[in-house]
């Protein structure tokens, strides 16, 4: 499948630079506040993952889930986003953003936006995610809300 992607900002994807407050003990950064999020984006859970150097996670998308990622280090990643939503005004837009220790960033990814990231540093990268849906639903008894594109032949979601 061949799609010509337009580089640009994707509607409803929020990029939030994270501020660090440092002192002699280390640093602190607010990832999110309930007074800054609409109720439909409130996290239902939170997890942390480690991505090893050179490893890519994704591309995949969600039907109903909004992801709230925080990329804080210690490594660096390249984040890829593709707007594949049929009714979106930014359909066929692509964004590639450096994130991690060099660019601490929170990113809100709405349903239908395909996303992936690759660790581009020599050290592993940690990623926090606070999605607004429980993985596999309450009690892990529902289908997982994921459409995976990693092993699709001729996938239009290319990681360069």
Residues 43 and 131 sit within 8 Å (Cβ to Cβ): yes
Residue 153 lies in a domain: no
Which structural domain range is residue 129 located in?
6-24+40-137
Q: Which CATH number goes with the domain that contains 98? A: 2.60.120.10
Residue 147: inside a domain: no
pTM of the model: 0.93
pLDDT given for residue 160 in this prediction: 86
Q: How many domains does the chain have?
A: 1
- pLDDT at position 74, please? 95
Each residue's pLDDT tens digit, 70-116: 999 999 999 999 999 999 999 999 999 999 999 999 999 999 999 99
152 part of a folded domain = no
> Is residue 11 a part of any domain in this protein?
yes
Q: What is the number of other CB atoms lying within 10 angstroms of the CB of residue 10? A: 23
At 137-146, the pLDDT tens digits run 999 999 999 9
Nearest C-alpha neighbor of 136 from the set 29, 34, 64: 64
Closest CA to 42 of 60, 75, 14, 65: 65
| Position 68 in a domain | yes
């Amino acid at each position: 499948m061949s799609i010509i992607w337009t580089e640009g900002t994707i509607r409803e994807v929020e990029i939030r630079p994270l501020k660090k407050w440092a002192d002699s003990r280390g640093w602190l950064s607010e990832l999110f506040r309930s007074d800054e999020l609409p109720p439909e984006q409130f996290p239902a859970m939170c997890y942390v993952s480690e991505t090893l150097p050179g490893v890519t996670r994704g591309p995949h998308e969600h039907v109903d889930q909004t992801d709230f990622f925080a990329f804080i280090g210690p490594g660096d990643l390249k984040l890829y986003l593709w707007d594949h939503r049929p009714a979106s005004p930014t359909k066929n837009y692509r964004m590639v953003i450096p994130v991690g220790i060099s660019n601490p960033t929170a990113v809100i990814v709405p349903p239908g936006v395909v996303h992936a990231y690759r660790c581009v540093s020599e050290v592993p990268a940690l990623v926090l995610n606070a999605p607004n849906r429980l993985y596999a639903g309450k009690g892990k008894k529902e289908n997982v809300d994921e459409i995976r594109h990693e092993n699709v032949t001729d996938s239009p979601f290319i990681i360069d």
